[in-house]
Structure 1
Amino acid sequence: MCGRYALGIRASFVRYQLQQQGMQVDNAPEDDEARETYNFPPGAYGLVYRAEVPDSGLRDDEETPAEVNEQTDAPTAVQEDRTGEDETSQEDQATGDKKHFNYEIKVMKWGLIPFWTKRSPDYGSMMRTINCRDDSLIENRGMWNTMKQRKRCIVVAQGFYEWLKKGPGGKEKVPHFVKRKDGQLMCFAGLWDCVKYEDAEEKLYTYTIITTDSNKQLNFLHDRMPVILDPDTDAMKLWLDPTVNKWSKELQSLLKPFEGELECYPVNKDVGKVGNNSPDFIIPVDSKENKKNIANFFGNAQKKNDLKHSSQENKEVKVERNQDIRKTEDHNGSENSAPMPVPPKSDGGMKRKADLDDEGEHVEKAPKLEFNPDDKPSLQQPATPDKAPSPPKRTTAKKTRSATSNADVSKKPSPAKADGSKRITSFFGKT
C-alpha cells in the first residue's frame, strides 16, 4: 500500500490543474516523457512536483538553486564570489526575506533508489521502496534520513487502488478505486533521490510515496493509505520548502490520515494485471458508464432486441402496404347495396356432386375427364336412367353429428384410412 494508482492524463493537463489550484509551476516536461496510464505500476515513470534544488538537496541556508557543484545538474548560472556570503545570509535572516525558488514537475521512476547505490537493484529490491511508512521517519536514522530532510516532494495522481480481501482465507480480491470527492488531483507526500550507477552515464531520479494509518472511511479496505496533502495550503508549502532542511516535529505532524472526503468503490478486476489499461478502471463497476456493468449488458441486449422487433414490424407494415394497393371506394354501409348471391347453373351435367369424407367433412369431387375417339376431351356425363330418380324423402330421424364439422354423417362406420387412422367412433365402440 500504495502499490498501484491512476495517472491517465497528460503532463500539460497536470500543470494546468496545479496552476488552477494556486500552485507555482515554472517548468514541466513534454507530454510524451511520462507514462500516461490508468493502471500505473511500480517501476514506471510518473510526475513529481518539487522545488528546483541540487541533486543533494539544499544543505544549508547559504546554498541557492543558482549555485553549481560537482554532484548536481542544477540550473547553471554565473558562480558568485562566496566572499561575504555569510554576511549576506545574516542580513536575509535579520530582515526575514526568503530566497525565491522555482518549482517544477519532473519525470521520475517509482521505487526509490538511494544515491549511494552502486549498481541497479533487482525488481524485488525496488518494490520494497515504493512506499515509506510515516513511523519510520520519526527517528533521525535509517535510509530515509537524508531524503526526509532535503528531498521532499509531491507525487501527482488521479487516485489509487486497493484490493479488498473477501471469501475464505481472503482468496478473492476485489479492486477498489479511491479518489477525492471534489474531483481534484491527489497530491501524495513523497521523497525523491538521484543516483548514478558506476557503469551508467546518466543520472536516475526516483521517488517513494509516504503512507500512514487509514482514516475511518477506508478502514474496511486497508489499514494503510497514502499521505494526502491539500494544494496551496500551509501544510503543502511547509512540506515543499527547501529551506526547511532539518526534520522536525512540525514536519512529522503533516503525515496523518486524510481529513477530507473521499470516494471509494469497486472497479474492473482487469486492473489487477499489470499492462492492462482502460478508462473503465476508474469507473464504478455498477455504473452505467462502465462497459463491464452486467445491467448494461442486459440493457444493451434488450435494446438490440427491441430494435430488431421494431425493424421487423416496420418491414411487415411496409410489405402489407406494398401488397394492399387496391383502389378504395366509398360505400353507404347498408346491406341493401350488397351484391346478390350468384344463382346456380341449370346444367346438371356441370354441377359438382358433394360428398362427405371419413371424418364427416364436405368434399367437392371434381368431374372426371375422358377422351372421345376423336381424341377431343369432354366431360363424362352421368348415365341417364329411363326414369329420372325421385328426390330422397326427408325423414325426421335424428342424424349423427360430427365432432369436427357441422355436417351430418352416416352411422355406418367408415373403413380405416390408408395411413392407419380409424374413426373415433370405432375406437370407443370396441372399448
Structure 2
Amino acid sequence: MCYRFSTQFTAKQLEEYYTACEIENEYYLQPELSGFDHPRTAIIMDDAPDEIVTGIWGLLPAWAKSDFYKKANTLNAQIETIDTKASYKNYEENRCLIPAHLFYEWQWLDSKGKERKKFQIGLKNHNVLSFAGIYSIWTHARTGNQYKTYSIVTTEANELMAKIHNTKKRMPVCLSKDSGNAWLQGRDRMDFSFPKYDPDLIAEEIEPGVVDLFSPAKNSD
C-alpha cells in the first residue's frame, strides 16, 4: 500500500531527472502528503513523456460521479488485478510516473496496530524515485472541466517491506529512471511485480520530532 509520500524536490530537479519540461505546476511540494486529501502532484504521462503535468491522486473512472471519493478508494491499484477491477480495467494501458522523494509506512507492533513504528523508505542513491501509476482523464459532468487522475500501482512486498508493512505486506512499484521509461513504454505490467522486479529500497525509522532523515532538497529552484 502507499497512502503517504514526500514531494520535497524542485521543479529543476524533476526536469533534469526526467529530461522533461514543467508544463503544469499546480502541484504540492510537501514533506508528507496524504492520499486521503486527494492532493495534486506532478506526473509524467505515457503520451507526453517529456512533459511534467499535474494529476490528482485517486483515479476517477469515466463513469464516476463527483462524490466518487466518498464511496471508493482508488489511491492504489494492485498490479495483479488492474485488468479485472471495474475502476481500473479501462485504464490498464494508461501509464504514468508519479515522482516522489520517499514514502512512509508503519510497522505494527501489536495485533491491532495501537503501537506502531513509522518508517520512511526511498530508492537507494536516488533523491527522486517514480511510482508506477495508471491514469484517467475525467470530465466533470456539470462544468465540462477535465482532470488528470491517477492510482499508484502496488505489488507484493519484498523482504524489506514485508518486515515494515507487516500486515498487508504490499508496497508501491518503485521505479528507477530506466525502469520508469520501460513502464511508460508499455512493457508487460507483470514484469514490474515482485519477485520479478525487486527495487533496491532503503528504510529508516523516524524518531520523534525528525521529519526526514534523508535531508531532502528545499522547495525552491
Give the TM-score normalised by structure 1: 0.45
**Aligned ranges 1:80-91 → 2 under 5 Å:** none
Instruction: Give every structure 1 segment of 4 or more consecutive aligned residues whose post-TM-superposition deviation is greater than 6 Å.
Output: none
Q: What is the rounded CA distance, in whole Å, between the counterparts of 1:123 and 1:269 in structure 2?
A: 32
Picking from 126, 129, 132, the partner of 2:77 is 132
% of aligned pairs identical?
23
Counterpart residue number, 1:424? none
Counterpart residue number, 1:189? 132
Picking from 205, 208, 213, the partner of 2:148 is 205
- Per the alignment, do residues 253 and 115 of structure 1 end up closer, same or farther by CA in structure 2, a change over 3 Å counting? same
- Per the alignment, do residues 111 and 262 of structure 1 end up closer, same or farther by CA in structure 2, a change over 3 Å counting? same
Picking from 283, 286, 310, the partner of 2:213 is 283
Q: Deviations over 1:156-186 (max 9, x none)?
A: 1011100111146431122100011213411
Deviation at 1:231? 0.9
SS in 2 for 1:212: strand
Kept in 1, the 8 Å contact 2:24–2:52? The answer is no
Unaligned 5+ runs, structure 1:
20-24, 54-101, 271-279, 290-431
Picking from 88, 102, 116, the partner of 2:63 is 116
Kept in 1, the 8 Å contact 2:45–2:96? The answer is yes
Counterpart residue number, 2:205? 266
More strand by share: 2
Aligned residue-pair number: 209
Residue identity opposite 2:189 in structure 1: L
Instruction: Please say if 1:13 is aligned against 2:6.
Output: no
Q: CA RMSD in A?
A: 2.4
Q: What is the rounded CA distance, in whole Å, between the counterparts of 1:173 and 1:228 in structure 2?
A: 23
Deviation at 1:122? 5.1
Kept in 2, the 8 Å contact 1:51–1:103? The answer is no
Q: What is the rounded CA distance, in whole Å, between the counterparts of 2:141 and 2:104 in structure 1?
A: 36
Picking from 252, 265, 287, the partner of 2:190 is 252
More helix by share: 1
Unaligned 5+ runs, structure 2:
216-221
SS in 1 for 2:164: coil
Q: What is the rounded CA distance, in whole Å, between the counterparts of 2:96 and 2:111 in structure 1?
A: 40
Q: What is the rounded CA distance, in whole Å, between the counterparts of 2:177 and 2:31 in structure 1?
A: 22
Q: Deviations over 1:250-307 (max 9, x none)?
A: 332223355243221111557xxxxxxxxx42217xxxx8xxxxxxxxxxxxxxxxxx
Residue identity opposite 2:31 in structure 1: Y
Deviation at 1:4? 0.2
Q: What is the rounded CA distance, in whole Å, between the counterparts of 2:146 and 2:24 in structure 1?
A: 19
Kept in 2, the 8 Å contact 1:11–1:29? The answer is no
Q: What is the rounded CA distance, in whole Å, between the counterparts of 2:11 and 2:103 in structure 1?
A: 18
- Per the alignment, do residues 122 and 193 of structure 1 end up closer, same or farther by CA in structure 2, a change over 3 Å counting? closer
- Per the alignment, do residues 16 and 200 of structure 1 end up closer, same or farther by CA in structure 2, a change over 3 Å counting? same
Q: What is the rounded CA distance, in whole Å, between the counterparts of 2:16 and 2:178 in structure 1?
A: 14
1-10 vs 179-188, which moves further:
179-188
Q: What is the rounded CA distance, in whole Å, between the counterparts of 1:200 and 1:269 in structure 2?
A: 45
Q: What is the rounded CA distance, in whole Å, between the counterparts of 1:268 and 1:200 in structure 2?
A: 46
Picking from 175, 178, 194, the partner of 1:232 is 178
Larger Rg: 1
Deviation at 1:123? 4.0
SS in 2 for 1:217: helix
Counterpart residue number, 1:143? 87
Counterpart residue number, 1:29? 23
- Per the alignment, do residues 10 and 125 of structure 1 end up closer, same or farther by CA in structure 2, a change over 3 Å counting? farther
Q: What is the rounded CA distance, in whole Å, between the counterparts of 1:114 and 1:221 in structure 2?
A: 32
Q: What is the rounded CA distance, in whole Å, between the counterparts of 1:110 and 1:145 in structure 2?
A: 17
Q: What is the rounded CA distance, in whole Å, between the counterparts of 1:44 and 1:125 in structure 2?
A: 18
Residue identity opposite 1:142 in structure 2: A
Q: Deviations over 1:342-361 (max 9, x none)?
A: xxxxxxxxxxxxxxxxxxxx
